Structure 1
């Protein structure tokens, strides 16, 4: 979600990393503070005194490292870069990852871009691809600023959610507050009753053309400078629920050329069912949204790379 009070710094990447670190790390205080065994690697000193990451985070980092190496090998292939063999469908792809891997994924995306743009051409007629990266969080803030509503949203946001959260006392009637039990936190209003959500969803949602127009502008400017052979979309978790992944992918089909590879980096699950309907679950927890026209990069990179 993208609370405007947290968005007040605009595109400040350090602040956004700090916010994500509190939610995406997925480890309790004991794990964070735990002293771990030495790597025994001379690059960390003769005594090998460097600490290892806690096992769960260390394993996740290795998984991401392997995935991003496979992504590079897959994306460098000419048939991927040319948007071929998609069965007539747009060259839209999803790379799904565990939400707790968010910071590691963010760190590796620029490295992947650099590797692709610096790759050796396959032959004399080939050239390394230029990658356009669009951060949806920064794009949403840009839309609000262009409409001169960003400062107003920051100022009014605290009063637009309805009642303040309330924790009933132990003796209060259970279920009196949004179905919560006594002593448990009171939930914010349902989204359809939240004025702040409705205001931003009206501005950024699929029924409004502003998001599409800004995407078109970004792509057109990059394409004119030959800087958009493929497109990476990031930050979808930060703009939920104002921008929904399945609605976004439906919109981009009218923005980017059919054979231009468009990759959505998705913190959650993307699964194919037996009926070929695809299900997207943001953060691996929220109710699934059906979307059947994007290809799973997770499946593709595990099946092997073709030149």
Structure 2
């Protein structure tokens, strides 16, 4: 899309708000047999503003968004939480000094594999919100850029399909999504994923 035709972030978030209030969107209707997964791609340079606007959205008066209830997870926070649970956060710097960055990455990828991250996501959401309910709940996933290269977006979406396919999911993605390929930061091949819709 030509930059002059691209919506501003303010406009994009208004589109998202209107989607969240749309009964068809909440009910996952009009998608055929596809899962109700959506990607919000944005320029990675806009990350600070996206975080700020996402915070504003999450802190809005719930009455303004009725009947939707937004549930949110940050992938980077999930990774940190898994490390904390294993008592590893304070040990990781020493591990990297001793074994090197490649060994540290491999260790983190084993601790926070896509399947483990999605399982932890499900547990955390159930504890905080209860079981997600169709027609009411929308799951927003952020933190993709900070979680790379420990995990990749297409792997998270693939693992989430059998668990969250009954509610709309919106992935905030600092890169490009053309309906088939994810390119993190606009340049890194982040894998193929064919089942999501561009929310804009």
Q: How does the TM-score come out when normalised to structure 1?
A: 0.58
Contact map agreement 2:20 2:138 (CA 8 A) in 1: no
Contact map agreement 2:153 2:190 (CA 8 A) in 1: no
Counterpart-to-counterpart distance in 1, 2:25 and 2:47: 25
Indicate yes or no: 2:193 matched with 1:294.
Answer: no
Gaps of 5+ in 1: 1-55, 121-126, 163-193, 273-277, 299-307
Match of 1:133, SS state, is strand
Structure-2 residue corresponding to 1:239: 147
Match of 1:84, SS state, is coil
Counterpart-to-counterpart distance in 1, 2:158 and 2:190: 16
Choose between structure 1 and 2: higher strand proportion: 2
Structure-2 residue corresponding to 1:188: none
Match of 1:158, SS state, is helix
Counterpart-to-counterpart distance in 2, 1:251 and 1:225: 18
Which of 11, 23, 36 is equivalent to 1:66? 11
Larger Rg: 1
RMSD: 2.3
Gaps of 5+ in 2: none
Aligned runs of 1:31-180 on 2, under 5 Å? 63-115=8-60, 117-119=62-64, 127-161=66-100
Structure-2 residue corresponding to 1:219: 125
Aligned runs of 1:15-26 on 2, under 5 Å? none
How big is the shift at 1:145?
Answer: 0.8
How big is the shift at 1:223?
Answer: 4.2
Counterpart-to-counterpart distance in 2, 1:243 and 1:236: 8
Q: How does the TM-score come out when normalised to structure 2?
A: 0.87
How big is the shift at 1:112?
Answer: 2.4
- With over 3 angstroms needed to count, the CA separation of the structure-2 counterparts of 1:198 and 1:288, relative to structure 1, is closer
Counterpart-to-counterpart distance in 1, 2:162 and 2:86: 23
Q: Which has the higher contact order (CA 8 A, sep 6+)?
A: 2
Which of 173, 180, 184 is equivalent to 1:266? 173
Choose between structure 1 and 2: higher helix proportion: 2
- With over 3 angstroms needed to count, the CA separation of the structure-2 counterparts of 1:116 and 1:270, relative to structure 1, is farther
> 1:61-84: per-residue Cα shift (whole Å, max 9, x none)?
x81111111211122111111222
How big is the shift at 1:108?
Answer: 0.4
Counterpart-to-counterpart distance in 1, 2:31 and 2:97: 46
Structure-1 residue corresponding to 2:183: 281
